[in-house]
């Protein structure tokens, strides 16, 4: 069974949830035995608002999660169950590869950077950020833009970092510009072109790759295999917004999360965040896109 990036819903009797909250963080359910390790589950009771948000840790054992306060130092709080699950995959030290799927405005980049900054402040972990440099087009030609742009590496890559800098400003708040400058000067915060990760080993760090839906399997393999001791890598993407002309199933991200190795691993996790908080227009565009391209993907392909 593939490790789903969906939130599995199980219906249980009210007493199961009550005992779960009263007796501790763990419970065992036969219904959960077939779920992959590190799959996330929400328990519900018919006719009641009683719920419990859990992670399957193996053999039907569920551990209740509560990640609401993990990012409060960065003034970021998960706003729904799926965001809480995504944060849990970040803060769980046993998860070394976390995948966050979701459309623009669902908060995945904000949550990832809030976690990474928190780790840097608490443990001194370096924050690395990258993304594939691909122009937004609708055909299948090659739109990698890093090479042709004039200037040095920093000048070429700077326009592609705007999304990261906007989120960092939100996460860091007042005086964020000065704080970012200090972190960059000390090497605690580094923006890297994907091409410049080859031959490196990234240790004691949080490595974030946004727009990962535009990576080929070769690129994902090259990047993830560079993460060393004390490192966690977070891949963020939207499989409905592929700019390379590849089909969903041909992207490296889809191949990764649908592999048996990913499903069976105890160091991987993933979640699709769905609720859009940016405003009504991104949601409108998402709905129109689905109407225009009903056969372009399916929920089964994305899960």
CA distance 159 to 151: 12
CA-to-CA separations, 78 to 69, 71, 267, in angstroms, rounded = 8, 8, 22
Q: What is the mean pLDDT of residues 176-200?
A: 90
Pairing of strands 61-64, 51-58: antiparallel
Query: Over 90: is that where the pLDDT of 270 sits?
Result: yes
Give bridge partners of residue 69 from the DSSP assignment: none
The number of helix segments (H) and strand segments (E) in the chain equals: 11, 11
Question: Whole-structure pTM over 0.85, yes or no?
Answer: yes
Q: Is the pLDDT reported for residue 185 higher than 90?
A: yes
Which pLDDT belongs to residue 240?
Answer: 87
For position 278, what pLDDT does the model report? 80
Sequence-distant (≥ 6) Cβ neighbours of residue 223 within 8 angstroms: 130, 194, 197, 207, 209, 215, 233
CA atoms within 13 A on the CB side of 176: 14
Mean pLDDT of the chain: 85
Strands (E) across the chain are located at 7-11, 26-28, 40-44, 51-58, 61-64, 97-101, 126-130, 189-191, 205-209, 231-237, 268-272
Would you state the pLDDT for residue 156?
Answer: 62
Higher pLDDT, 226 or 155: 226
pLDDT tens digit sequence for 88-129 = 999 999 999 999 999 888 999 999 999 999 999 999 999 999
Q: Tell me what pLDDT residue 2 has.
A: 54
- Nearest C-alpha neighbor of 60 from the set 39, 46, 45: 39
Q: Is 299 a residue whose pLDDT tops 70?
A: no
pLDDT at 13: 87
Q: How confident is the model at residue 216 (pLDDT cuts 50, 70, 90)?
A: very high
pLDDT digits (tens, 9 = 90+) for 125-176: 999 999 987 654 444 444 454 455 555 556 666 676 788 989 999 888 878 8
Produce one character per residue of 99-112: b if its CB has 16 or more CB atoms within 10 Å, e if not: bbbbbbbbbbbbbb
Bigger pLDDT: 248 vs 300: 248
Report pLDDT for 190.
93
Q: What is the DSSP letter of 36?
A: P
Tokens of 36: 């992959």
pLDDT of residue 134: 66
Q: Is the pLDDT at 56 greater than 70, yes or no?
A: yes
Distance CA 39, CA 3 (A): 7
Domains, the chain = 1-66 (2.30.130.30), 90-295 (3.40.50.300)
What is the torsion angle, in degrees rounded to the nearest 10, for the CA atoms of residue 279, residue 285, residue 288 and residue 292? -160
Give the pLDDT mean for 56-85. Answer: 82
Alpha helices in 124-267 (DSSP H): 153-157, 162-172, 176-186, 217-224, 252-257, 260-264
pLDDT above 80 (res 45): yes
Report, as an integer, the average pLDDT of 175-194: 90
């Amino acid at each position: 069974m593939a490790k789903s990036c969906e939130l599995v819903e199980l219906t249980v009797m009210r007493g199961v949830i009550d005992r779960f909250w009263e007796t501790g963080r763990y419970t065992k359910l036969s219904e959960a035995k077939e779920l992959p390790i590190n799959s996330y589950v929400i328990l519900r009771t018919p006719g009641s608002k009683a719920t419990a948000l859990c992670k399957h840790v193996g053999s039907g054992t569920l551990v209740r999660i509560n990640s609401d306060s993990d990012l409060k130092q960065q003034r970021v709080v998960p706003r729904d169950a799926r965001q809480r699950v995504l944060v849990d995959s970040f803060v769980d030290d046993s998860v070394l590869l976390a995948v966050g799927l979701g459309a623009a405005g669902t908060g995945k980049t904000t949550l990832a950077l809030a976690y990474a900054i928190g780790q840097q402040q608490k443990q001194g972990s370096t924050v690395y950020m990258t993304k594939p440099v691909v122009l937004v087009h609708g055909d299948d030609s090659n739109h990698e833009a890093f090479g042709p742009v004039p200037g040095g590496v920093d000048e070429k890559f700077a326009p592609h970092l705007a999304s990261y800098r906007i989120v960092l400003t939100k996460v860091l708040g007042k005086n964020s510009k000065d704080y970012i400058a200090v972190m960059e000067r000390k090497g605690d915060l580094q923006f890297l072109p994907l091409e410049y990760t080859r031959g490196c080993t990234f240790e004691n760090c949080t490595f974030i790759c946004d727009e990962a839906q535009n990576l080929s399997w070769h690129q994902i393999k090259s990047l993830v295999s560079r993460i060393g001791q004390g490192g966690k890598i977070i891949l963020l993407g939207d499989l409905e917004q592929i700019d390379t002309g590849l089909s969903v199933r041909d992207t490296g991200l889809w191949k990764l999360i649908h592999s048996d190795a990913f499903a069976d691993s105890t160091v991987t996790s993933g979640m699709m965040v769905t609720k859009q908080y940016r405003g009504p227009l991104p949601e409108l565009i998402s709905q129109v896109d689905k109407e225009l391209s009903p056969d372009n993907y399916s929920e089964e392909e994305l899960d």
